[in-house]
Amino acid sequence: MPVSNFLKIAACVLFPVVLAACGGGSESSQQAAAPMRLAAVQATAQVAAEDYFPIVQQLYIAYFGRAADPVGRNNFAAQLLQLNAPTDIQQMTDAYNNDGRIRALVDSFGTSDESKALFGAGDNAAFVTVIFQNVLGRTPDPASSGFLFWENALNGGGLNRSDASMSIMAGALANTTPQGLIDGKLVNNRVAVASAFTAALDTDIKINAYSGAAAAALVRSMLASVDANTDVASFSTNISNAVNTLVANAPPPAPTFQTVRAIINQRCLTCHSGGGAQAGIRLDLDSVVHSQAAMIYQQVVVTRFMPLGNATGMTDDERDIIKN
């Protein structure tokens, strides 16, 4: 989009009071803001947590470049509902400035472990570059005034990163210039794909598979491939492929203690129970199995010294279960 328009939008988002500069669209939305808030309060019962799913995805895409996981999405939406937050990101930028609880919630993006891993060592220029890629699908010119606007605002301390990513997203969705409309299409396609991806995580196995840095990176690159021309309906194949890959790559779930206990009963107790237990290690006691866990791992998985001479015929599958 042209820089001057970008700055206007940015300024409207950041300084909503200076509305004379914002053009017709923004003025009318500002006039509507007060009655709409009132309506939101009166109609609280009609707002459901699901109504916040799009804004949650918008915030995740802007900040993390990925779709929300179902648990994160639901928690975030439930908290927004409880705070009676707006469901629209334009109004959210106002609410952020006016309501400390909403601000704290949005700011939690910036204090998360994922944020530290993604941006921890990087400066604000690196941060703004990533947010532009997440929201607009292109690398910004670091000399452009649109870019410098955000970088300087962050460097000056007048703006924090959570607020900046939300405002850049809000600006992209509000921009009605020709380039802005294309950008808006890209963002909306990414939100639609992200929403469909999160909805596709419909079993515990799939939900658990979408965790950790590698899974996040896979979904990040899937979303990065979505642009203004993406046909969201046919992209569902890419979504199910991504889910299948996540499930295939997921580490096996940790076995339950009962499973481990059954193996120990069968393979170890002949020599490790009661008063005559070898090496004084009574594996008939759960407390000893827990306290000796590291030693059991060492003897069974690393050195394979136990069971002694494999007298009890322990299988490799059983050693794998002990390992997990």
Contacting range for ligand HEC; rule: CB under 6 A; set: 5-13, 113-121, 239-247, 271-279: 271-279
Q: Which is nearer to ligand HEC, 190 or 272 (CB)?
A: 272
The verdict on 272 binding ligand HEC (CB under 6 A) reads yes
Please, which of residues 27-56 interact with ligand HEC by CB under 6 A? none
Query: With 0-12 CB in 10 A as exposed, 13-18 as middle and 19+ as buried, what is 229?
Result: exposed
- Residue 282 CB, nearest approach to ligand HEC (Å): 11
Degrees to nearest 5, angle at CA 29 with 27 and 30: 65
Give the rounded distance of the alpha carbon of 202 from its chain centre: 17
CB-side exposure of 108: number of CA atoms within 13 Å? 13
> Which residue among 131, 193, 242, 296 contacts ligand HEC (CB under 6 A)?
296
The verdict on 282 binding ligand HEC (CB under 6 A) reads no
Residues with Cβ within 8 Å of 25's Cβ and at least 6 positions away in sequence, in order, are 174, 176
Q: Based on C-alpha coordinates, what's the Rg of the chain?
A: 26
> Which residue among 142, 311, 315, 324 contacts ligand HEC (CB under 6 A)?
311
Measured in residues, the chain has a length of 324
> Which residue among 36, 271, 285, 301 contacts ligand HEC (CB under 6 A)?
271
Backbone angles phi, psi at 202, to 5 degrees: -110, 10
The verdict on 260 binding ligand HEC (CB under 6 A) reads no
Report yes or no: 84 and 36 within 8 Å, Cβ to Cβ: no
> Which residue among 37, 83, 278, 284 contacts ligand HEC (CB under 6 A)?
278
- Residues contacting ligand HEC: total by CB under 6 A: 21
Alpha helices in 204-255 (DSSP H): 204-209, 213-224, 236-249
- Residue 303 CB, nearest approach to ligand HEC (Å): 9
Report yes or no: 60 and 220 within 8 Å, Cβ to Cβ: no
- Residue 322 CB, nearest approach to ligand HEC (Å): 7
Contacting range for ligand HEC; rule: CB under 6 A; set: 7-15, 19-27, 252-260, 302-310: 302-310
Q: How many angstroms separate the Cα of 39 from the Cα of each of 34, 148, 188, 236, 269?
A: 9, 38, 26, 36, 69
> Which residue among 295, 315, 320, 324 contacts ligand HEC (CB under 6 A)?
295
Report yes or no: 19 and 174 within 8 Å, Cβ to Cβ: no
Please, which of residues 91-120 interact with ligand HEC by CB under 6 A? none
Compute how many other C-beta atoms are within 10 angstroms of the C-beta atom of residue 182: 17
The verdict on 213 binding ligand HEC (CB under 6 A) reads no
Contacting range for ligand HEC; rule: CB under 6 A; set: 1-9, 142-150, 208-216, 291-299: 291-299
Contacting range for ligand HEC; rule: CB under 6 A; set: 23-31, 84-92, 99-107, 305-313: 305-313
DSSP conformation class of 22: G
**Cα separation of 98 and 125, whole Å?**
27
Q: Which is nearer to ligand HEC, 200 or 277 (CB)?
A: 277
Q: Which is nearer to ligand HEC, 154 or 300 (CB)?
A: 300
Q: How many angstroms separate the Cα of 105 from the Cα of each of 80, 82, 83, 109, 226?
A: 8, 12, 10, 8, 28
Contacting range for ligand HEC; rule: CB under 6 A; set: 5-13, 112-120, 179-187, 268-276: 268-276
Task: Using CB under 6 A, list all residues that contact ligand HEC.
Answer: 264, 267-268, 270-272, 278-279, 281, 283, 292, 295-296, 299-300, 306-308, 311-312, 314
